[in-house]
Amino acid sequence: MYKLLIADDEDALRRGFREYAEFLGFHVTEARDGMQAVTLCREQDFDLVIMDVMMPKMDGFSACKEIKKIKDIPVLMLSARSEEYDKLFGFELGIDDYVTKPFSPKELIARINLIISRHKGLRPGTQAAQEQHEIYERGGLKIDLTARSVTVDGKAAELTPKEYDLLFYFVKNKNIALSRETLLTEVWGYDFYGDDRTVDSHIKTLRGHLGDYKDLIVTLRGVGYRFEG
């Protein structure tokens, strides 16, 4: 049974989602604002957090930033605003999806299942992780896909969740030319409304984390990128 946390100041929305999700077999905990959501994430483990952007005391973006400091929990953001800036800002923080209100409960559950399935096999301690522990090493670079950890010359690299996802996708598809469109679709999601700048900015910061091994990510002019395996 997957554990979900929904943080929203609309009581009716929280109750309606909880009733529907629990009918489908999820365990749902409610938070009325961002501060309560952060507190609950400190005290409990969740498989996914559904977070509204506009909330009292602490907004969803601020709460997401605090939660990411504590645990690597996937976050799906809810908002009545559909501006591209809000979506890009959320994805820069490391959220996994962005859904605009009003939404279909069925669609929201489908997105939740997709996000959880992406993360489930990468978590240490799960059966899938134990059965297929994946490690990539190149010189002093060690990328542990199962434990979601990266070390460069013995020092841990602190990546954002989306940077981890991007690097792991590169490793799984090493020596393959990957277009920016492919990376946006596979790493950010098929319905992400960002553009090439999102990929390029993440590549830039990712290379910075890799230090002397930054050249493993090769730019292919007019095409995209390739990870040298």
pLDDT over 60 at 73, yes or no: yes
The residue whose two tokens read 């859904």 is 99
pLDDT reading at 85 higher than 80 = no
Q: What is the pLDDT of residue 128?
A: 43
**Residue 193: its pLDDT value, please?**
59
CATH homologous superfamily for 3-120? Response regulator (3.40.50.2300)
How far apart are the two ends of the chain, measured CA to CA in Å?
38
Residues counted in the chain: 229
The mean per-residue pLDDT over the stretch 36-59 comes to 92
Residue 48 has pLDDT above 80, yes or no: yes
- Predicted pLDDT at 131: 43
Which residues are bridge partners to 224 per DSSP? 179, 220
Are 160 and 96 contacting, i.e. CB atoms less than 8 angstroms apart? no
Where are the chain's structural domains? 3-120, 127-227
C-alpha to C-alpha distance for 112 and 130, rounded to whole angstroms: 24
Quick one: CATH architecture of 127-227? Answer: Orthogonal Bundle (1.10)
Residue entry with tokens 């469109």:
181
pLDDT (tens digit per residue) in 166-217: 999 999 898 999 998 888 888 887 555 556 788 899 999 999 999 999 999 9
Mean pLDDT of the chain: 85
Confidence at residue 123, expressed as pLDDT on a 0 to 100 scale: 45
